[in-house]
């Protein structure tokens, strides 16, 4: 068993089932996650207990298969125990360093603008495989201040494991990142957005919207054919109101596809009653794609502003983050910065 798959509650049950004091779970969690100790170095647990734990659990981290580091962003290709590869990205922002984790090997959502969408899902990651990406990055690069759940994969297509991951990440005995330092992004799987309040840590929710027009969104995001915009917006609004959360809507500006003033008006009308902001993202060209980066971003931005919609747009955004360094990282960077400045 991979230790990092265990939430604190699961670990307490593990000890209880063996007639051991369940308080050992917190001791173990704290020593490993908070104090970065190895099992053998934990003095608060007996040699006998440690031997049992060592027998039952693996503490192995993934292996580094490749690294691209431009000083600001580091993309690491990690090999998991079954040989599967996942991408994890580190973003350095002055004093705050964020990590963007993958939740699946490949992705089934099929968004036409996204490189991952063309890879097809091979499998979902376990909670521990997501945790171990964070652990690997902090061991390799130092302290992590923000987690973006927006690497490869659709987190809500792996709900239970992602939920367990969030629990471990936010547990004060675990990775102990407060919810406001965790951002989860989804393409909009409505039934699981409805269940997101099961995750108690108060994380930031980002919705990959990319169009306010039903026909266009269905064309570029197949998920929209299953759960349409109106249902998505209604669900997000309810979630936001119930949990008093400000929602981030992500919107990639693609040349002549979704970037006209008319489209901006549609977007403004769609989100105007939601406590939200719109994150305008430059399209990151992917291989063999016919899409181009928008040249109408300023006009689009101005329409939103005029309609009183909060929007963030960065011209110089991710200057040194190259498409070759992973198309997803630019967006993760934006969220890490957002969390950092606490806007």
Contact indicator for 281, 330 with CB cutoff of 8 Å: yes
Q: At closest approach, how far in Å is the CB of 220 from ligand SAH?
A: 9
If one asks whether residue 104 binds ligand SAH (CB under 6 A), the answer comes out as: no
Distances (CA, A) of 254 to 172, 238, 266, 325: 41, 29, 16, 20
β partners of residue 206:
185, 248
Closest among 58, 69, 62, 68 to 83, alpha carbons compared = 62
Name the segment binding ligand SAH (CB under 6 A); options: 9-17, 52-60, 86-94, 184-192. 184-192
Contact indicator for 275, 247 with CB cutoff of 8 Å: yes
Considering only 182, 187, 270, 309, the residue that binds ligand SAH (CB under 6 A) is 187
Catalytic (active site) residue 87: yes
Considering only 208, 235, 263, 294, the residue that binds ligand SAH (CB under 6 A) is 208
Stretch 38-77: interaction string toward ligand SAH, x if CB under 6 A: ----------------------------------------
Dist. CA 48–CA 54, nearest whole Å: 10
β partners of residue 90:
74, 99
Residue corresponding to tokens 């547990």: 171
Instruction: State the CB neighbour count (10 A cutoff) for residue 322.
Output: 16
Question: Residue 111 or residue 247: which is nearer to ligand SAH going by CB?
Answer: 111
If one asks whether residue 32 binds ligand SAH (CB under 6 A), the answer comes out as: no
Catalytic (active site) residue 325: yes
If one asks whether residue 154 binds ligand SAH (CB under 6 A), the answer comes out as: yes
Name the segment binding ligand SAH (CB under 6 A); options: 109-117, 167-175, 226-234, 241-249. 109-117
Question: Residue 252 or residue 257: which is nearer to ligand SAH going by CB?
Answer: 252
Residue 108 burial (10 A CB sphere; 0-12, 13-18, 19+): middle
Contacts 24+ apart (CB under 8 A), 241-244: 241/275, 242/197, 243/197, 243/202
Name the segment binding ligand SAH (CB under 6 A); options: 67-75, 86-94, 308-316, 326-334. 326-334
Question: Residue 112 or residue 176: which is nearer to ligand SAH going by CB?
Answer: 112
Q: At closest approach, how far in Å is the CB of 26 from ligand SAH?
A: 32
Contact indicator for 293, 253 with CB cutoff of 8 Å: yes
If one asks whether residue 12 binds ligand SAH (CB under 6 A), the answer comes out as: no
Q: Which residues bind ligand SAH (CB under 6 A)?
A: 109, 111, 113-114, 150, 154, 185-187, 208, 250, 252, 281, 283-284, 286, 327-328, 331
Positions marked catalytic: 87, 325
């Amino acid at each position: 068993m991979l230790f990092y798959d265990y939430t604190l509650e699961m670990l307490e049950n593990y000890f209880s089932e063996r007639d051991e004091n369940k308080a050992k779970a917190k001791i173990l969690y704290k020593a490993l996650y908070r104090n970065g100790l190895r099992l053998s170095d934990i003095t608060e647990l007996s040699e006998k207990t440690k031997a049992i734990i060592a027998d039952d659990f693996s503490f192995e981290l993934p292996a580094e298969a490749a690294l691209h580091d431009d000083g600001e962003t580091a993309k690491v290709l990690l090999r998991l125990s079954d040989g599967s590869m996942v991408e994890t990205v580190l973003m350095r922002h002055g004093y705050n360093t964020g990590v963007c984790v993958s939740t699946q090997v490949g992705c089934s959502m099929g968004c036409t603008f996204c490189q991952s969408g063309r890879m097809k899902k091979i499998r979902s990651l376990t909670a521990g495989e997501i945790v171990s990406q964070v652990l690997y990055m902090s061991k390799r690069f130092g302290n992590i201040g923000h987690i973006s759940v927006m690497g490869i994969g659709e987190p809500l297509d792996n709900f239970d494991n992602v939920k367990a991951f969030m629990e471990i990440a936010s547990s004060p005995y675990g990775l102990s990142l407060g919810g406001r330092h965790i951002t989860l992004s989804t393409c909009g799987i409505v039934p699981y957005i409805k269940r997101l309040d099961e995750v108690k840590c108060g994380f930031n929710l980002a919705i990959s919207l990319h169009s306010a027009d039903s026909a266009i969104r269905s064309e570029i995001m197949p998920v929209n054919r299953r759960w349409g915009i109106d249902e998505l917006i209604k669900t997000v609004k309810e979630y936001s109101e119930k949990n008093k959360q400000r929602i981030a809507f992500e919107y990639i500006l693609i040349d002549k596809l979704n970037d006209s003033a008319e489209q901006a008006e549609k977007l403004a009308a769609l989100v105007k009653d939601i406590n939200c902001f719109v994150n305008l993202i430059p399209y990151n060209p992917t291989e063999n794609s016919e899409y181009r980066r928008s040249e109408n971003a300023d006009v689009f931005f101005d329409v939103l502003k005029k309609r009183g919609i909060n929007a963030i747009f960065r011209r110089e955004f991710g200057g040194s983050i190259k498409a070759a360094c992973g198309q997803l990282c630019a967006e993760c960077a934006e969220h890490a910065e957002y969390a950092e400045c606490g806007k």
